[in-house]
């Protein structure tokens, strides 16, 4: 547990300032679902942050602004629909992402994705879901 609890040095990709590990309530106020967030030190002028994996200080991906956070959530919904509907297993679905973008295991996470890559993955997910007659929004 000790090693997992070491905060990571991260920079904000938007303004270049250092990200600071903070209690999630700093951003979410009363609806803090996650324990900690890496928040841009320019927050709230720079609206950029990312959550951590439960019980660790390990970031879920890169810092993201509102648009990108929203896009990653939408992308995750479409992607999760693929394995939730049993088209691929969850593990195979992640391998499929790796194949599409030529990524390794640690890079193939929506939390690391840019808006452009989210768009590409959403298109690919829609194709797979449509081919398997799964209704998508
Ligand atoms: Zn920033």
The residues facing 50 across adjacent strands are 38
Residue 59 maps to a domain:
no
Specify the 3-state DSSP secondary structure of 48.
Answer: coil
pLDDT tens per residue, range 7-45: 889 999 999 999 999 998 888 876 666 689 999 999 999
pLDDT tens per residue, range 100-131: 999 999 899 999 999 999 999 999 999 999 99
pLDDT tens per residue, range 78-92: 999 999 999 999 999
Q: Which residues surround ligand 1, an ion (CB under 5 A)?
A: 12, 14-15, 17, 40, 42, 46, 48
Structural domain harbouring 26: 3-51
Is residue 75 domain-shared with residue 126, that is, in the same domain? yes
34 near 48, Cβ under 8 Å? Answer: no
- Structure tokens given for 119: 């768009």
- Tokens 């979410």 identify what position? 28
- Structure tokens given for 52: 């951590």
CA of 53 to the centre of ligand 1 (A): 21
Specify the 3-state DSSP secondary structure of 84.
Answer: helix
Residue 47 maps to a domain:
yes
Is residue 126 domain-shared with residue 70, that is, in the same domain? yes
The reported pLDDT for the residue numbered 21 is 95
- pLDDT above 80 for 99: yes
What angle in degrees, to the nearest 10, is found between the helix axes of 66-84 and 90-101?
130
The reported pLDDT for the residue numbered 31 is 66
- As for how many domains the chain has, the answer is 2
């Amino acid at each position: 547990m000790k090693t997992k609890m070491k905060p990571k040095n991260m920079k904000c990709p938007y303004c270049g300032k250092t990200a600071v590990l903070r209690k999630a309530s700093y951003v979410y106020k009363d609806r803090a679902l996650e324990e900690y967030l890496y928040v841009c030190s320019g927050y709230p002028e720079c609206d950029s942050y990312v959550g951590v994996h439960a019980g660790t200080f390990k970031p879920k991906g890169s810092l993201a602004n509102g648009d990108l956070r929203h896009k990653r959530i939408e992308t995750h919904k479409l992607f999760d629909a693929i394995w939730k509907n049993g088209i691929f297993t969850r593990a195979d679905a992640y391998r499929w992402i790796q194949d599409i973008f030529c990524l390794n295991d640690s890079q193939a996470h929506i939390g690391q994705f840019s808006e452009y890559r989210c768009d590409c993955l959403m298109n690919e997910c829609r194709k797979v879901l449509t081919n398997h007659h799964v209704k998508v929004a």
